[in-house]
Amino acid sequence: MLFVWRDFVSVYKQTILGPLWYLVQPILTTLTFTVIFGNIARLPTDGSPQFLFYMSGTVIWSYFADCLTKTSNTFVNNTNLFGKVYFPRLAVPVSILISNLVAFAIQLGLFIAFMIYFGVAGAAVHPTLWIALTPILVLTMAGLGLGFGIIVSSLTTRYRDLRFLVTFGVQLLMYATPVIYPVSAIPDQFRWLILANPMTPIVESFRFAFLGAGAFDAGALLYSFGFMLVVLLFGVLLFNQVERTFMDTV
């Protein structure tokens, strides 16, 4: 729990707004997406209010992206701590997942508040019973973020350049995920590329559950969960293999 608290409070430490940034950041990002992709590019939103469509993608993608990018630097950033005392090394990246989960819960609550507001105002908001799957969606995202993060973190101890590629790669991956567009807007000949992305079913399922937009595909969601298990297992095996030489290479 000490790691969780440290990770949570250190993000916006010595800032004016402090934890309020957990609320400000998704709102500003959503407004930017609404103006650029909704009003200028005029991308479709499957009938959902633009603000809610982009905010749903922003909230769920931010959790995955933060889990991946922050865990990918964990072992290099904690070299001094690892050298002082022994403890299960996986506790550090897992604590990052939990602290990010707190931030995700705050932003999810904000999204639900906006969803209720738009619903009362008469907008096309149709939440479904699939909202009950939210814990599974979050678990799958966390597993993907942890798995990829551990893999990158293990390799970064030897290949430092990977640290600079992670942030860029995550940004590119966002555009290969239906965060700012629905899957229905992708031409048929390219749709398989988007569907191969394990984050696609998660984002689409989240939107369908809360907004009633798009479609729910149980098979695609099972694919994401299976993909997560493979990545997480490989990440743990790789980590265990290189753990003995961490202090010699970082």
Note the pLDDT tens digit of each residue in 193-226: 999 999 999 999 999 999 999 889 999 999 999 9
Which residues, including other chains, have CB under 8 Å from residue 4's CB and lie 6 or more apart? 95, 98, 99, 102
Secondary structure (DSSP) of 38-50:
IIIS----TTS-H
Closest listed residue to residue 30, CA positions, set 143, 150, 111, 120: 111
pLDDT digits (tens, 9 = 90+) for 171-184: 999 999 999 999 99
Residue 37 has pLDDT above 70, yes or no: yes
Residue 4 has pLDDT above 50, yes or no: no
- Give the end-to-end CA distance of the chain in Å, rounded to a whole number: 25
- Per-residue b or e along 101-116, where b marks 16 or more CB atoms closer than 10 Å to that residue's CB: bebbebbbebbeebbe
- Under DSSP, the state recorded for 36 is I
Determine contact, residues 58/27, Cβ cutoff 8 Å.
no
Residue 180: predicted pLDDT: 96
How many CB atoms lie under 10 A from the CB of residue 57?
Answer: 25
Reported as a pLDDT band with limits 50, 70 and 90, residue 10 is low
Residue 79 has pLDDT above 80, yes or no: no
Determine contact, residues 127/209, Cβ cutoff 8 Å.
yes
Radius of gyration of the chain (CA): 19
Reported as a pLDDT band with limits 50, 70 and 90, residue 164 is confident
- Report the pLDDT averaged over residues 69-76: 81
Residue 7: predicted pLDDT: 52
- Report the pLDDT averaged over residues 221-249: 86
Determine contact, residues 128/208, Cβ cutoff 8 Å.
yes
Closest listed residue to residue 176, CA positions, set 199, 156, 151: 199
Residues, the chain, total?
A: 250
pTM, to two decimals: 0.90
